[in-house]
Structure 1
Amino acid sequence: MNDATLFPIGEVARRTGLSVKTIRFYSDSGVVPLAGRSPAGYRLYDLDALLRLDLVRTLRELGLGLAAIRRVLDRKVSVAEVAAVHADAVDLQIQTLRLRRSVLRAVADHGSGPEEAALMHKLTRLTTAERRRLIDEFIVTTFGAEHARHGLAAMVRVAAPHLPDDPSPAQVRAWAELHELIGDEDFRDRMRRAAERQADPAGSGIDDGLPEPVRERITVAKQAGIDPAGPEAGPVVESAVRLFAQAYPHVPDAEVTARLTERLEAAGDPLVERYWRLVWVVNGWQVVPGLLPDASWLLQALRENHTP
């Protein structure tokens, strides 16, 4: 190689767009070795060094560290391999930033204080497995390990809240409220009572143990966005009242609707309903008018006197 193929550091800086200080740093780090020195002792670089510097700059702009870059330049790993690993890391960083943004928006929109802001930040930093473990612990401590896969407990498990990677401020607030709710012993007691009422044979046809034909009608109505307070809910109520009357033939016909309403009111609980609404928000499920557990939907329809 002759002197015509060698470049002083100033020329290298001009050709690469890097500062002289940065080029010296890469040289001293062993990333871009010198090709030699001039008679006066100045650093000289060859074309290979310029190409290496261009690659180094590209990889640095993509966020790779010097250790990874050195392994690429030494051909210990390929650019593709390093890029794949780094892309995964960037995905995680993006997810973290999105969560952080959502928390900040939730704090700003809701006027949250320091304690609530700290709680939302802490909860959104939990991994998916850690969030799932919170729900699992809630189910077991509330319903007991032997009932954790039956009845209401099974519904809670299947419809467990799952905070998305890029949640809205409303989803962040709902997740924080859910966390507070499932940690409240009074709420757990209410969920236990709801599960007991569901399993009670005397309550057959009530709560989420409604007869399957009624539940199917309610499901179709909810999916269609039918408001339980509207006239279109009438046929569903008629079916429920008729089936209730068949199950309790000793109840006078004039009292059937009132008795069914009483049973549903006894089975209902505003905190349990609040839990399900928060789950819908966290999971991003569409909330339409009257989108409640079956018994709550039917109770609202009954209160509007949609009787046969």
Structure 2
Amino acid sequence: MPPETPAATRPALQALREAIPDLNQTMRRVAEEILADPLGAGSSSITALASRAGAAPASISRLATRLGYAGFPALRSAIALENGRNAQSGWERDIGSEITPDDSAADVLDILAGTAARALRDAVAWIDVSRLEQAASAIAGAERVHLYGDWGDSVALRELHMRLQRIGVAAWFVDSGPVTLRAVCNTLTSKDSVVVLNRSGEDEVSARVLHDARDMGASTVAIHGAPGSPVDRGADISVFTGIRNGKVWTHYYSGRASDTLVTSLLWVLVAQRRSADHSMRFIDDGTLGDRT
């Protein structure tokens, strides 16, 4: 599950998105109404919002309390503040904005840039840095590191693979079929580490890789966008990227931005652990080099 984060330090709208899977039907309607019109919610009275959502004001108060706010006025203020920050920064598009055939190129650029910016900001509030530190220690101490991700899940992982190799980590990217993956898992030992990236959290092959690797004693790391999923539950160290898997392409796009953020941070943490010389620095090609 995502780490517990004080309400005041996390984006209110992202907190609502994260809460939706566990809400009852009434609270879910309220959350969806707020997410559908954040500007309206940031200036609405509790009775007006209750009317639009078909809920009682008490349900809205309970939702606010569940999210960690003192009541609806505090939640409304947080939403209004978030709306103001978005407008001030120019990123007024919400994550999940759909791109239509009628959108101009400038509109599409605005949607994509705004989506990526919001995704990175929102992800920071949910990424469990302590788990990434554990994952980095496991990778840095392993004799061999095997990485698996299929199709779009492979994008951020392939970059991580390249960068791990550049700092001397014996790393392999495995993109073959189930038979080959099973053969690879049969060679694993307690000195190996396996990293799987699967945004949906439901991929059977990814879950099987984690299961087989753990059976062989290897340390396992799962990077995902679905807390509570089989992939989340199947690893020794599970890292939620802070953005859930969604239904429209811009959800997918925002998730990939958070994947890259997590794998980039993971690489830096591994590099720090492998560097015995604190005078070393990062140079332009992404490797490590001496200050001198």
TM-score normalized with structure 1 length: 0.24
Question: Which structure has the bigger radius of gyration?
Answer: 1
From the two aligned structures, give the one with the greater strand fraction. 2
TM-score normalized with structure 2 length: 0.25
- Larger relative contact order, structure 1 or 2 (CA cutoff 8 Å, min sep 6): 2
